Amino acid sequence: MTVRKEIVDQLAGIPNVAVSEGALLSRHTRFGIGGPAGVFVQAASEQAFAEALRVSQGSGAAYSVIGEGTNLIVSDRGFDGIVLRLTSKAIEREGATVRAEAGAELQALVDYSIDQGLRGLETMTGIPGSVGAAVYGNAGAYGHSIDERVRQVRFLTGVAVQSFGPAECRFRYRESVFKERKDWIILSVELALTPASSADLRQTADEIFKIRLAKYPPTMKCAGSIFKNLILAELPDSVRRQIPERVIREGKAPSAYFLEQVGAKGMRSGGIQVADYHANLIYNTGDGTALELCELIGELKTRVWKQFGLELEEEVQYMGFSPTPQPA
């Protein structure tokens, strides 16, 4: 369904809103993949976003909300509807509490907390994406995740703004209630950090950043790890016995281990390739498509299922299509 002209005009008339028709979503995803949006809407304030969302919901057209697009696979055909993005980026502190708007870059928040001498986010340095997406997917690295520091999340239900504490957010490994309720849009988050030496925090972050840079160069068109790691305690005994102790981290079995066993490294589908040095890293070599990416993801899931009886789960989200469930 093409978005009606009166709806486009209505969206364009909202203060602090930028509207473009036919914007290529490949320019707004880290994979560099995706066809055009019917209408692409960027709102620079909560009020503007709330009004744009209200108009979109009443338009009869399909609509979707995105962040920085770092964990997003968009259909080659694009999204025939309205794509909304909140771009408000304010970050501020009160004592050891930091408040960040959802549109802020996660790296900007990490750098701000380090510069302010506040501990709790330094291990997340180098993770691309927005603050809202980090809360949505409970982002983390090196044994820590953002839920450990969340005090409150403000979100838009479509009719009102509400706030949840960490328990109500139902955080789990790479999960939150906001993944279950995609109609609840995160607006901002308050984080409880702890005072520390800024120099020490920066040293920790710099060491982590060097490691991430070697794995995920900023020019690489990828989403980082494509599959979630697996909770060791939830795996069948027969599978646990096959996993070497050396690869287990924080009670999790890396998906990369299982992928390596099924020959994932270096696999390719058209312009999409698995890194030859990391079995859980899939990237676009430059001219890859969403179809090729999904074909490769599906093949990897099928191989792991056939050899281990495990169903890997993607960290990435899909827009404009639902990939064929795997394994078949």
**pLDDT surpassing 70 at residue 321:** yes
Residue 327 has pLDDT above 90, yes or no: no
Averaged pLDDT, 187-203: 98
For residue 324, what pLDDT is reported? Answer: 57
User: Residue 277: its pLDDT value, please?
Assistant: 95
DSSP 8-state symbol, 324: P
Work out the mean pLDDT of the chain and round it to a whole number.
95
Task: Kindly indicate the confidence band of residue 322, based on its pLDDT and cuts at 50, 70 and 90.
Answer: confident
pLDDT band at 98 (very low <50, low <70, confident <90, very high): very high
The tens digit of pLDDT for each residue in 140-182 reads 998 899 999 999 999 999 879 999 999 999 999 999 999 999 9
**Residues with a known catalytic role:** 174, 225, 315
Q: Which residues contact 285 (CB under 8 A, 6 or more apart)?
A: 221, 271, 272, 273
Give residues with Cβ within 8 angstroms of 222, minimum separation 6: 30, 31, 216, 281, 282, 283, 284
- Region 306-325 average pLDDT: 88
pLDDT of residue 218: 86
Residue 326: is its pLDDT beyond 70? no
**Per-residue pLDDT, 328:** 45
Q: How many CB atoms lie within 10 A of CB 76?
A: 16
What per-residue confidence (pLDDT) applies to 158?
80
Measured CA to CA, the distance from residue 142 to residue 203 in angstroms comes to: 15
328 compared with 126, residue with greater pLDDT: 126
pLDDT band at 107 (very low <50, low <70, confident <90, very high): very high
Average confidence (pLDDT) over 263-268: 98
Per residue in 288-297, pLDDT (tens digit) is: 999 999 999 9
DSSP string, 129-180: SBHHHHHHTT-EETTEEGGGTEEEEEEE-SS-EEEE-HHHHT-BTTB-HHHH
Tens of pLDDT, residues 9-67: 999 999 999 999 999 999 999 999 999 999 999 999 999 999 999 999 999 999 999 99
